[in-house]
Structure 1
Amino acid sequence: MRASVGDKLHVQGRNVGNPEQEGEIIEVRGQDGTPPYLVRFSDGHEGLVVPGPDCFVEHNDG
């Protein structure tokens, strides 16, 4: 997985009824766009994320 600052990270809900979480990648800490990523989620909290199979990146093409 590769990402850039400004891309969106989506985390699928793990259980039925748990909504998907979405956040903006504000810092890439790995080399060449690889994880971990510092993410600011839509609820305002920030966290260091190493994405698993339940995650995908929406690239910011602008």
Structure 2
Amino acid sequence: MHAQPGDWLVLKGPRTGAPDQRGRILEVRSADGTPPYVVRWTADDHVSTVFPGPHAVVLTAEDERAAEDRARTRFDRVQRSIHEEGGHVRVR
């Protein structure tokens, strides 16, 4: 696993249905980009030093932006498909 400051660390949920934990990598403590990483977690703005385990994934800032764009596109598509007609909601 290799990272650089500005990348995102995603820790997969420990069980099905459990949310992932996401954080921005602020600092990489090794010259070759391997752990440990100093991470600011999005859920609570907490900063910690992390030695990620096997269920962790590093996303570049570009990967994260692309994922956010895909999610926004899906959300917009669903929003457009919902129409209110005469007090009833219809999904087409």
TM-score after normalising by structure 1: 0.88
Looking at both structures, which has the greater relative contact order when contacts are Cα pairs under 8 Å and sequence separation is at least 6?
A: 1
- State the alpha-carbon separation in 2 of the partners of residues 30 and 51 from structure 1: 14
- State the alpha-carbon separation in 1 of the partners of residues 34 and 9 from structure 2: 13
Q: Which has the higher strand share?
A: 1
C-alpha RMSD of matched pairs (Å): 1.1
TM-score after normalising by structure 2: 0.62
1:22 shift after superposition = 0.4
1:18 is paired with a residue of what secondary structure?
Answer: coil
Q: 1:9 and 2:18 equivalent? A: no
Give the counterpart letter for 1:48 in structure 2: T
Q: Which has the larger radius of gyration?
A: 2
Q: Which has the higher helix share?
A: 2
Give the counterpart letter for 1:57 in structure 2: V
1:56 shift after superposition = 0.4
Give the counterpart letter for 2:24 in structure 1: E
